[in-house]
A and B are shown apart, each in its own frame.
Chain A
Amino acid sequence: MSTVGTAEGLRPRERAAKSISPSRVLDCFALGSWAAVFWFLLVADRTSLYLSSRTAWVVPTGAILLTVGFLGRLLSIRSEQPRPITARSAWGIGLIVLPVITVLALPPASLGSYAASRRSTFSSGGIVSSAGDIAEGDLSLIDVAGGLRSREGVDALVERAGEEVDFTGFVTKDPGAPADEFMLTRFLVSCCVADALSVNVRVVGAPPGRFKADEWVRVSGRFYPLGRDVIVDSSDIVNVERPKRPYLSP
């Protein structure tokens, strides 16, 4: 290692020899992979498969920060004391990059009836439509979800009983239910899919056996709130593609 000269006296080329440090290469790989996955989510518009619209800002922020981190590490990849990669550090980085692989390799998908059987139903009355919102305009599944949880909401829903509605969701089968019934389910996501809670309405009058679990459908019919349930007496059910934004945001 050269000891000639001082910091102020040397030009960059004359400094002590530096070579690429393998451990920093690995750091770049980790940062770069995660930056790539966030850019992928943005470009392929897949953010809504993982996050609520409230937290979607995390993706571009992460993309930019990780890119900055990656570039910063890349520009300082040379070191006078390069550190080798140990087996342990390699597997540690492998672990960090593993989720990147799962997000990139898996086809786009959303939570379905399996998750619905394991998760609680949305019960927070506060965020969703007030009774005033329920009283006017088109009814949405969020109105249904929130409405059932407060006295005023229930009253507002009862006022509109019998009206025509259009709900989109996926089919969930209740084991004991008759063949011409199914639950129409949608998930509400506040932050990320991990906190998903379900909203359900009971669809009756469906063609028996025609719709399988996890199929996305649009149900048109008249709705009737009944205790803790909302029943939709269907007049028309059509298969639809999974929506671009499969999760609702409260």
Chain B
Amino acid sequence: MQSPAVDTRLEGGYRYAGFMALALVAFGAALFVFDPANVAGVQNFFLVFGSLLIEAFPFILLGALVSAAIEVFVPVSVFEKLTLLPKPLQLPAAGLAGAAFPVCECGSVPVARRLIIKGLMPSAAVTFMLAAPVLNPIVIASTVVAYRGRDILWPMVLGRAGLGFLVAMAVGYVISDESKEQLLRNRSGRSKIPEHEHEPSSSSTDSRARTKVTSFFGHLSGDFVFMGRFLVIGAMVAAALQTFVPQSVIGGVAGTPVINILAMMGLAFLLSLCSESDAFVAASFVQFGVGGQLAFLVFGPMVDTKLGILYGATFRQGFFRTVVIVVTAGTLVGCLWIEVLFG
């Protein structure tokens, strides 16, 4: 029997959904009526915004799918075995495991979160999360294609993979002492990170298979909905920056050492491109040399507008700052060396 109090809450719930739906309809009608084609910047914004999300949402869903599968179908004992690896090997192993995960960087965030909840050492999960977008074969292949015929092909491809791997491990090393509770942000309501998350409705009267399937779809939609809203915010910011900040704005510093590398990192942050295709954009900045282009390719998959917002929602405050500092420093130093060796 449901108490009257529960009924009232349920009633109130649908009211909010109703307001939201009305707001969406009003927005759609406004778009239709005030055709933004008349305002070039606005149309540009919506095109970039839409395309970023059309590209990213399937990968978020894939990441949520893998994350849900890990939660429901992979026993905790597997992760316990992984922590038996000798300590110095754990981070490199986690980094290399990233090569097996050819998903846009947004997809690796929910998976990393799930791995941490399941018991994988947090620093290893973070190394995996940062290394996957740089080491996966699709990204390496597209980097090769983008630089084919240029004399900086191999410094770029190997530099990206090698430096990316090292920087990912550096971040993992820096946060190595943090526990799951210190690292992960609670999702709304819970007082602590659970050992593994239950769907509140799984009851002992359901058959085990049904519970697993229900739980799987519960986690899938939970992760999708959670990540999705932050991805939309990130895409809004990235689209606005792309619309209003011309790419040529950094052209003036192309010749200045160190500043040019930082400028390319800043551009990678603003553009928020998928690591599968950013090599072509980096290659277009010919005036920036090996160091600058490499910085774009190493920094971008680990830190950008979209990811910043996803990290902020997934990890505790301070994590994003740590990542930015370590990745900036590591990329800067690495790229300066490569510039000296190959520039």
Contact = CB atoms under 8 A, between A and B. Distances in A.
Contact of B205 (A16, A58, A79): A16
Size class of the contact patch on chain A: 35 or more
Contacts of A176: none
Contacts of B200: 79, 81, 83
Contacts of A81: 200-201
Size class of the contact patch on chain B: 35 or more
A233 to B, nearest CB: 27
A52 B247 CA distance: 21
A205 interface: no
Contact of B24 (A5, A62, A98): A98
Given A50-B47, A95-B232, A118-B243, A27 B225 contact: yes
Contacts of B23: 94
A106 B31 contact: yes
B269 to A, nearest CB: 14
Given A111-B44, A118-B247, A127-B148, A190 B205 contact: no
B45 to A, nearest CB: 10
B36 A93 contact: no
B10 A192 contact: no
A72 B220 CA distance: 9
Contacts of B37: 107, 109
A98 B44 CA distance: 17
Interface in B31-73: 31-32, 35-37, 40-41, 43-44, 46-55, 57-59, 61-62, 65
B105 interface: no
Given A58-B54, A96-B225, A101-B28, A125 B10 contact: no
Contacts of A204: none
Contacts of A106: 31, 36, 43, 46, 50
Contact of B13 (A41, A84, A97, A197): A84
Given A31-B221, A126-B150, A193-B48, 6 more contacts: A26-B17, A109-B37, A110-B47, A119-B246, A127-B145, A192-B277
Interface of A: 5-7, 10, 15-16, 18-19, 21-31, 34, 37-38, 41, 49-52, 55, 58-59, 61-62, 65-66, 69, 72-73, 75-76, 79-99, 101-107, 109-115, 117-127, 130, 149-150, 188, 190-195, 197, 250
Interface of B: 2, 9-10, 12-14, 16-17, 19-21, 23-24, 27-29, 31-32, 35-37, 40-41, 43-44, 46-55, 57-59, 61-62, 65, 142, 145-150, 153, 188, 200-201, 203-208, 213-214, 216-218, 220-222, 224-225, 228-229, 232-233, 235, 238-239, 242-243, 245-248, 271-274, 276-281, 283-286
